Amino acid sequence: MGGAVITTGGNLPAKHVIHAVGPIHGDDHEDEKLKDATLNSLKLADKNRLKSIAFPAISTGIFGFPKDRCAIIMLSTTIAYLDGLTGLEKVVYCLYDKKTLELFEDILKSLTQRR
């Protein structure tokens, strides 16, 4: 579940691209699949000694995954991962629109205030 693979960036400005498979909304174990896709991407970035990684809001496009659940799962998984041993220095979320950005910002704030 939630596999991830790394390739070269080809003609992109990025040196590498990590491809992660997220869940289709309505799938069995969809929250776990999204968490695994996020976690496996972070682990793969570390394994390849990357210093930064950028994520979209995985599965919230044509797969229809709710953005609020996506933000909670992806951000909490990322925060927990960064609390451990990692070479990652920067994690960026590249989001489609202002509404999604504000949602992720609000959830990030609530997750980090609890700490």
All structural domains of the chain with their residue ranges:
4-113
Distance from C-alpha of 67 to C-alpha of 103, rounded to nearest angstrom: 8
Task: Please provide the CATH number assigned to the domain covering 4-113.
Answer: 3.40.220.10
13 vs 115, more confident = 13
| Structure confidence by residue, pLDDT tens digits, 57-106 | 999 999 999 999 999 999 999 999 999 999 999 999 999 899 999 999 99
Which pTM value belongs to this model? 0.93
| Structure confidence by residue, pLDDT tens digits, 21-67 | 899 999 999 999 999 999 999 999 999 999 999 999 999 999 999 99
Distance from C-alpha of 10 to C-alpha of 81, rounded to nearest angstrom: 28
| Distance from chain centroid for Cα 5 | 14
Indicate if the pLDDT at residue 14 is higher than 90: no
The CB density around residue 87, as the number of other CB atoms within 10 Å, is 11
Residue with token string 């959830």: 107
Q: Contact 16/9 with Cβ under 8 angstroms?
A: yes
